Amino acid sequence: MPSQEVKEIFEAMGLVAPTDVEGGLAVEDPSCGEIIARVAQDDREAAMAKVAAAHAAFLRLREVPGPVRGELVRRIGERLRQHKEPLARLVTAEMGKGIAEALGEVQEMIDICDFATGLSRSLGGRTMLSERPGHRMFEQWHPVGSVLCITAFNFPVAVWAWNAALAFVCGDPVVWKPSLKTPLTAMATHALLQPVLAEAGHGDAMQLVIGPDVEVAQALVDDPRFPLVSATGSCAMGRKVGPRVAARLGRTLLELGGNNAIIVDATADLDLAARAIAFGAAGTAGQRCTTTRRLLVAESVADALVRKVVGAYQQLAERIGDPRDPANLVGPLIDADARDQYVAAIERIEADGGEILVGGRVLDRSGYYVVPTVVAVPEGKEFPLMDQETFAPILYVRRFGTDDLDGAIAVQNQVEQGLSSAIFTDSVRAAERFWSPAGSDCGIANVNLGTSGAEIGGAFGGEKATGGGRESGSDAWKAYMRRQTCTVNGSNALPLAQGIRWE
């Protein structure tokens, strides 16, 4: 039997909780370590049947007018509005993020639906001037095919929504392969929203596949019926998925790890910076790809800032606990493995001469709670651990020479990932330098706000080992369509381009 809480949440959404399957995939509540459900998994054959159904749906969906597809996405957004609260509670129960953040995650789903609905009437190509008399050139964008959407545990529903809302208005079905750590939120989302498409005769355009990586995920990734594979997760995952899709010359949209830094210069508002650092580094228990993992602070303000940050962390340490309680600001890590990685990192920090200013320990209670940690790295020495992404709330602090902003930017850019970055400064020159071509090499660069918590209206993603993909806002929709360049000759002659004469 799924837990009472899970049953109640599904009921609150007008759904029936999935029945437990013997030997099924165990779903753990990270706040207490108990198994709350055992769900059925798809085998390869079942997964392939869903791929075939999605492909058949594509052949119909591609001919549905864009604004009509937009209307479907609008209704999906409406349904999410109606069920925002219980869906958020399920995110909290299964993933462990605080309820305020879980509500924000569902809001992110709603926002992208609104955004995509608007796009459905404005997606379009440009007209170019032809060099040939009486000719017209333009480009148009067509649906590309089914999208395979692989998502991670940390944003168990929002990242699917970023992809799905855009894909649907673009005319592409979506086959969703969620993290095996968070299948319940995916099942609830699917059960809630798939009927919206089904009522309009496009139910097969939304598919959910829950299955083991080797048997099922690899077969999905290799299938040419997915011209686009959109994958969110670790760099290690991306290194497996990217080459497999490339080998069949498919397209990927990769949104992988981050090792994001905040730079604080001598002119910065330190109170503002300290608050942003605490949320960026300890929010979601350090399990966002946009989490702040490194603080680079100007020597002249370092002591004052570190005092404020440590003070904020001491308050945070009082607010670790059950993510269902809105008074708690830090929930558990996702599982025992994540906790063990945190412990291993702390051990290495100490061995390598890092000074733990606050945190550095596991809470002695059931569930995977760790104390958000601030580490001063030894001055004048390399500290390689700082350049590695540990998916936990560990913030490394390094000082830089007060006038050496370029040096700080170089340290920021020396990691393999390039997702998010921020500077706190009151200097226009510093801000402009920070996001100049010689500045941050990340996909996101913020001034006077933290590295996490992006809005859906911007394109989201990053460079280097982050994978280069862009999801969500701006013109990220282009990834979900194919471009066609069209030229029409409205004249009676047949002039050749480049002035070639061939008569």
Beta strands at 459-460 and 471-472: parallel, antiparallel or unpaired = antiparallel
Give the range of 74-82, 375-383, 404-412, 448-456 binding ligand UN1 by CB under 6 A. Answer: 448-456
* Residue 449 vs residues 288, 392, 427: alpha-carbon distances, Å: 16, 21, 14
How crowded is the C-beta side of 337, counted as CA atoms within 13 Å?
Answer: 3
Residue 30: partners with Cβ closer than 8 Å, 6 or more residues away: 95, 96, 331, 332, 333, 334, 335, 367, 368
Cβ-based nearer residue to ligand UN1, 99 or 289: 289
Instruction: Determine contact, residues 252/149, Cβ cutoff 8 Å.
Output: no
Q: What is the 3-state secondary structure (H, E, C) of 231-296?
A: EECCHHHHHHHHHHHHHCCCEEEEECCCCEEEEECCCCCHHHHHHHHHHHHHHHHHCCCCCEEEEE
Answer yes or no whether residue 289 interacts with ligand UN1 by CB under 6 A: yes
Active site residue 71: no
Q: Which of 112, 149, 349, 454 is in the footprint of ligand UN1 by CB under 6 A?
A: 454
User: Least CB distance from residue 151 to ligand UN1, whole Å?
Assistant: 9
User: Out of 453, 461, 467, 473, which residue is the one contacting ligand UN1 (CB under 6 A)?
Assistant: 453
151 binds ligand UN1 (CB under 6 A): no
Among 163, 182, 232, 425, binds ligand UN1 (CB under 6 A): 232
Provide the H-helix boundaries in 283-404.
Answer: 299-317, 336-351
Given a contact cutoff of 8 angstroms between Cβ atoms, the answer to whether 211 and 183 are in contact is no
- Least CB distance from residue 290 to ligand UN1, whole Å? 4
Q: Which of 10, 115, 155, 396 binds ligand UN1 (CB under 6 A)?
A: 155
CB 6 to ligand UN1: min, Å:
24
Judged by DSSP in three states, 156 sits in coil
Q: Is 290 in the site for ligand UN1 (CB under 6 A)?
A: yes
Q: Which helix (H) or strand (E) holds 147?
A: strand 147-150
Residue closer to ligand UN1 by CB (options 179, 425) is: 179
Find the helix or strand (DSSP H, E) in which 430 lies: helix 428-434
CB of 133 within 8 A of CB of 491? yes
Known catalytic membership, residue 347: no
Q: Which is nearer to ligand UN1, 232 or 390 (CB)?
A: 232
Nearer to ligand UN1, 70 or 453 (CB): 453
Q: Is 288 in the site for ligand UN1 (CB under 6 A)?
A: yes
Cβ nearer to ligand UN1, comparing 58 with 391:
391
* Stretch near ligand UN1 under the rule CB under 6 A, chosen from 22-30, 69-77, 152-160, 167-175: 152-160
User: At its nearest, how many Å lie between ligand UN1 and the CB of residue 453?
Assistant: 5
Answer yes or no: are the C-beta atoms of 497 and 131 closer than 8 Å. yes
The catalytic residue positions are 255, 289
Residues at the site binding ligand UN1, with contacts judged by CB under 6 A? 154-155, 159, 232, 288-290, 452-454
